[in-house]
Protein backbone atom coordinates (compact mmCIF):
# COMPACT_ATOMS: atom_id res chain seq x y z
CA UNK A 1 0.00 0.00 0.00
CA UNK A 2 2.95 2.35 0.57
CA UNK A 3 3.80 2.32 -3.14
CA UNK A 4 0.21 3.05 -4.14
CA UNK A 5 -0.08 5.86 -1.59
CA UNK A 6 3.23 7.36 -2.77
CA UNK A 7 1.93 7.24 -6.33
CA UNK A 8 -1.21 9.18 -5.35
CA UNK A 9 0.90 11.82 -3.61
CA UNK A 10 3.24 12.07 -6.60
CA UNK A 11 0.35 12.51 -9.03
CA UNK A 12 -1.24 15.12 -6.77
CA UNK A 13 2.03 17.09 -6.67
CA UNK A 14 2.46 16.73 -10.42
CA UNK A 15 -1.07 18.05 -10.94
CA UNK A 16 -0.39 21.08 -8.71
CA UNK A 17 2.89 21.78 -10.52
CA UNK A 18 1.26 21.52 -13.94
CA UNK A 19 -1.62 23.80 -12.92
CA UNK A 20 0.87 26.36 -11.64
CA UNK A 21 2.84 26.28 -14.90
CA UNK A 22 -0.36 26.59 -16.96
CA UNK A 23 -1.45 29.55 -14.84
CA UNK A 24 1.88 31.28 -15.33
CA UNK A 25 1.74 30.68 -19.10
CA UNK A 26 -1.77 32.14 -19.21
CA UNK A 27 -0.60 35.21 -17.34
CA UNK A 28 -2.30 34.29 -14.08
CA UNK A 29 -1.68 35.99 -10.75
CA UNK A 30 0.30 33.05 -9.40
CA UNK A 31 3.29 34.16 -7.34
CA UNK A 32 4.55 30.76 -6.36
CA UNK A 33 1.13 29.27 -5.63
CA UNK A 34 2.40 26.85 -3.06
CA UNK A 35 2.79 27.08 0.66
CA UNK A 36 6.16 25.90 1.89
CA UNK A 37 6.35 23.12 4.45
CA UNK A 38 4.18 23.33 7.55
CA UNK A 39 2.12 20.21 7.09
CA UNK A 40 1.55 20.57 3.36
CA UNK A 41 0.27 24.12 3.67
CA UNK A 42 -3.20 23.27 4.90
CA UNK A 43 -2.36 23.61 8.57
CA UNK A 44 -0.36 26.80 8.05
CA UNK A 45 -3.20 28.35 6.08
CA UNK A 46 -5.68 27.21 8.72
CA UNK A 47 -3.66 29.15 11.32
CA UNK A 48 -3.58 32.17 9.02
CA UNK A 49 -7.30 31.87 8.28
CA UNK A 50 -8.25 31.72 11.94
CA UNK A 51 -5.90 34.63 12.67
CA UNK A 52 -7.62 36.71 10.00
CA UNK A 53 -11.05 35.67 11.24
CA UNK A 54 -10.53 36.27 14.96
CA UNK A 55 -8.90 39.65 14.40
CA UNK A 56 -11.65 40.75 11.99
CA UNK A 57 -9.22 41.71 9.23
CA UNK A 58 -11.42 40.92 6.23
CA UNK A 59 -14.62 42.61 5.13
CA UNK A 60 -14.68 44.78 8.27
CA UNK A 61 -14.87 41.65 10.42
CA UNK A 62 -17.94 40.33 8.63
CA UNK A 63 -16.19 37.54 6.68
CA UNK A 64 -16.95 34.11 8.11
CA UNK A 65 -14.26 31.54 8.74
CA UNK A 66 -15.65 29.30 5.97
CA UNK A 67 -15.46 32.11 3.44
CA UNK A 68 -11.91 32.94 4.53
CA UNK A 69 -10.86 29.29 4.20
CA UNK A 70 -12.36 29.00 0.70
CA UNK A 71 -10.64 32.25 -0.35
CA UNK A 72 -7.26 31.01 0.93
CA UNK A 73 -7.78 27.65 -0.78
CA UNK A 74 -8.55 29.39 -4.05
CA UNK A 75 -5.63 31.81 -3.89
CA UNK A 76 -3.00 29.31 -2.75
CA UNK A 77 -4.47 26.26 -4.50
CA UNK A 78 -4.23 24.20 -1.32
CA UNK A 79 -6.97 22.20 0.34
CA UNK A 80 -7.39 23.33 3.93
CA UNK A 81 -10.40 21.19 4.73
CA UNK A 82 -13.25 21.70 7.16
CA UNK A 83 -12.65 24.75 9.40
CA UNK A 84 -13.92 23.13 12.61
CA UNK A 85 -11.78 20.05 12.04
CA UNK A 86 -8.68 22.16 11.44
CA UNK A 87 -9.35 24.17 14.58
CA UNK A 88 -9.52 20.95 16.59
CA UNK A 89 -6.13 19.95 15.12
CA UNK A 90 -4.65 23.29 16.17
CA UNK A 91 -6.14 22.98 19.67
CA UNK A 92 -4.80 19.47 20.10
CA UNK A 93 -1.17 20.50 19.50
CA UNK A 94 0.83 19.99 22.66
CA UNK A 95 4.46 20.08 21.53
CA UNK A 96 6.21 23.38 20.88
CA UNK A 97 3.41 25.76 19.93
CA UNK A 98 -0.26 25.63 19.00
CA UNK A 99 0.36 28.43 16.48
CA UNK A 100 3.80 27.51 15.16
CA UNK A 101 3.32 29.07 11.73
CA UNK A 102 2.08 32.41 13.07
CA UNK A 103 4.87 32.43 15.66
CA UNK A 104 7.44 31.87 12.90
CA UNK A 105 5.94 34.75 10.91
CA UNK A 106 6.19 37.08 13.92
CA UNK A 107 9.82 36.13 14.57
CA UNK A 108 10.77 36.56 10.91
CA UNK A 109 9.26 40.05 10.78
CA UNK A 110 10.86 41.09 14.08
CA UNK A 111 14.23 39.74 12.91
CA UNK A 112 14.00 41.73 9.67
CA UNK A 113 13.10 44.91 11.58
CA UNK A 114 16.00 44.37 14.00
CA UNK A 115 18.40 43.84 11.10
CA UNK A 116 17.28 47.05 9.41
CA UNK A 117 17.57 48.94 12.70
CA UNK A 118 21.09 47.56 13.19
CA UNK A 119 20.12 45.71 16.36
CA UNK A 120 21.39 42.27 17.30
CA UNK A 121 18.82 39.50 16.96
CA UNK A 122 17.08 39.55 20.30
CA UNK A 123 13.88 37.67 19.49
CA UNK A 124 14.43 34.00 20.22
CA UNK A 125 10.89 33.06 21.06
CA UNK A 126 7.40 34.38 21.48
CA UNK A 127 6.56 35.91 24.86
CA UNK A 128 9.99 35.24 26.31
CA UNK A 129 10.15 31.56 25.27
CA UNK A 130 13.43 30.14 24.00
- 3-state SS string over the chain? CHHHHHHHHHHHHHHHHHHHHHHHHCCCCCCCCCCCCCHHHHHHHHHHHHHHHHCCCCHHHCCCHHHHHHHHHHHHCCCCCCHHHHHHHHHHCCCCCCCHHHHHHHHHHHHHHHHHHCCCCCCCCHHHCC
Confidence (pLDDT) at 113: 92
Confidence of residue 74 (pLDDT cuts 50, 70, 90): confident
Statement to judge: residues 26 and 59 lie in one domain: no
More confident residue, 110 or 126: 110
- Which pLDDT tens digit goes with each residue over 19-59? 777 776 776 554 555 555 444 568 889 999 999 999 999 99
Statement to judge: residues 88 and 26 lie in one domain: no
Query: Is it the case that residue 65 has pLDDT exceeding 90?
Result: yes
Statement to judge: residues 102 and 46 lie in one domain: yes
Statement to judge: residues 72 and 101 lie in one domain: yes
Statement to judge: residues 76 and 27 lie in one domain: no
pTM here is 0.63
Amino acid sequence: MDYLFAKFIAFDRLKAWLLEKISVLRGGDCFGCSVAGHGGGGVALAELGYGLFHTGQLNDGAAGVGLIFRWLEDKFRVSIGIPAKRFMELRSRKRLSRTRFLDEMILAILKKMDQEDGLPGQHKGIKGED
